Amino acid sequence: MATKYIFVTGGVTSSLGKGIIAASLARLLKARGYLVTNQKLDPYINIDPGTLNPYEHGECYVTEDGAETDLDLGHYERFTGVATSQANNVTTGRIYQHVIEKERRGDYLGSTVQVIPHITNEIKERITALGNTGKYEFVITEIGGTVGDIESFPFVEAVRQLKYALGKNCIVVHLTYIPYIAAAGELKTKPTQHSVKALQQQGVQPDIIVCRTEKPLTRSVREKIGLFCNMESECVIEDGDVSSIYEVPIKMRDEKLDIQVLRKLDVPVKNEIDLTKWEAFLYKLHNPEKEVTVGLVGKYVELQDAYKSISEAFVHAGTELRTKVHVKYIHSEYIDEGNVEEKLSGLSGILVAPGFGTRGIEGKILAVKYARENKIPFLGICLGMQCAVVEFARNVLGYKDAHSVEISPSTTHPVIDMMEEQKSISNMGGTMRLGAYPCKLVKGTKAFEAYGQEDISERHRHRYEFNSAYLEEFKNAGMIPAGFNPESQLVEIVEVPNHPFFVGAQFHPEYKSAVMHPHPLFVAFIGAALQYRNK
Ligand code: GLN
């Protein structure tokens, strides 16, 4: 079968859940036995979101190959279990960078370099490159932003060209919003008509429309949308509100989204759909037997998208343990000696989040101290692990000015130091220690117990590391290494054995937690929180 290309565009407004629809469709096609990959095209000019403040677009997601990507790639991986890579996220910045490099090399042989065809060709190459790997039968490409945005014009134009060239092997699924006007007691289709017109003005006729709506779509609403937008009413799909994003694949199956997609692409609907395991997960998710409250201490807590993978990892681990995990988001900037007790008491576990820079750092260190001294289960991730090391150095080893050199370059006790290979780097973008690295766990540690194996691989995103010059001192005082990089001997995990559960990881376990693979460290952390609560 020739590779089939499915584009997911959005209209009317942002935040309708294009990423979830794209991921759900991938899940459904995978459940029919097809090989699927998801891609995201982002219209902004940054080369990648690695340099973006999380307040802008939420968390930066990191792939196995070390790409810093949009958080939608996290949804794709969590829904499908299919690993993504640098090729799965392309920004306008990256497209232009490559075209300009080619222009400087002289590759265009004197011709005028233009949006059409040079930029659009580059976009098309990035899309078809995934199909050309021969690894996928379906490539689902989500176009960031909303149709009509100036920024996304070249992407939509590339879709128009591909649709013409690929014929039956390419379709467009357009996600829109159907507002309910309470005063009129009616669902309104006009915004959808307008957004489809905006697409048509750019030469693209959508094949399927998915409608976000708070009320069920009546038959007449479906028919009206079909009539105005040139499609059968079966291709108008209802996307109502659900209690969990993980319900969306089931909703889309019930609405026959996958069947319409296959029909439009001329693929016979023969394989049965198998969502048994997914439904078993949903059953456990909706029927918890216990509950527990944990705190997430970070400085971006106003925007929960900033910690998307962590909050989803809690859902996966909680479901595995038949536990509803309540997460209390605690702003590290506002934790001080006077209020730490009030802010953190009552929690059965404390997670100190990843991050960069000085803001809120002392609050994070106080949260670690509170968890360590009160024997509350603790999980520190990346900067959270580094804070645990700094706290231990200050309050157990007695090095009052101990710090990470990221925050205090002149500290006399740099217990977290810059990695050697980082010292000569001056560019900020894409230059950290990024992506998957192997780690060897130390037998007898909590980490080893959680993973149940010695050799693991986890994803990284940092410039600083545990300063091994202090390793013996830490070990003697009661903070031990629980995992090392087998080549460089960098300490990747620290633990305090004299504590029910005190684990700090230099890597990011949250990126690898998926619906079908709850992450062992999160499961162990929630398990410890349950034990703590029962005491
Ligand atoms: N700022 C720290 C470093 O660069 C931690 C990074 C993170 O938490 N992702 O090492």
Distance 385 CA to ligand 1 centre (A): 9
Q: Which of the four pLDDT bands, split at 50, 70 and 90, describes residue 427?
A: confident
* Residues in Cβ contact with 206 at an 8 Å cutoff, skipping those fewer than 6 apart: 9, 172, 173, 174, 196, 199, 229, 231
Residue type at position 275: L
Q: Is the CB of 356 under 6 A from ligand 1?
A: yes
Q: Which atom of ligand 1 approaches the CA of 465 most closely?
A: 10
**Is 382 close to ligand 1, i.e. is its CB under 6 Å away?**
yes
pLDDT-wise least confident of 242-246, 271-275, 332-336, 412-416? 271-275
What are the tens digits of pLDDT across the range 88-118? 999 999 999 999 999 999 999 999 999 999 9
C-beta of 464 in contact with ligand 1 (< 6 A): yes
From the CB of 461, is ligand 1 less than 6 Å away? Answer: yes
Residue 142 CB burial class (10 angstroms; 0-12, 13-18, ≥19): buried
Q: How far is the CA of 66 from the centre of ligand 1 (A)?
A: 15
Structure token pair of residue 133? 């790997």
For residues 90 and 203, give the distance between their C-alpha atoms in angstroms, rounded to a whole number. 23
Q: State pLDDT tens for residues 268-319.
A: 988 889 999 999 999 999 999 999 999 999 999 999 899 999 999 999 999 9
Q: Which residues are catalytic?
A: 382, 508, 510
- Per-residue pLDDT tens over the stretch 205-215: 999 999 999 99
Task: Say what the pTM is.
Answer: 0.95
| Residue 41 · residue 22 · CB < 8 Å | no
User: Residues near 299 by Cβ (< 8 Å), separated by ≥ 6?
Assistant: 331, 332, 333, 353, 355, 359, 360, 363
**pLDDT for the residue numbered 187:** 95
Residue 168 CA to ligand 1 center (angstroms) comes to 46
Res. 54 pLDDT band, cuts 50 70 90: confident
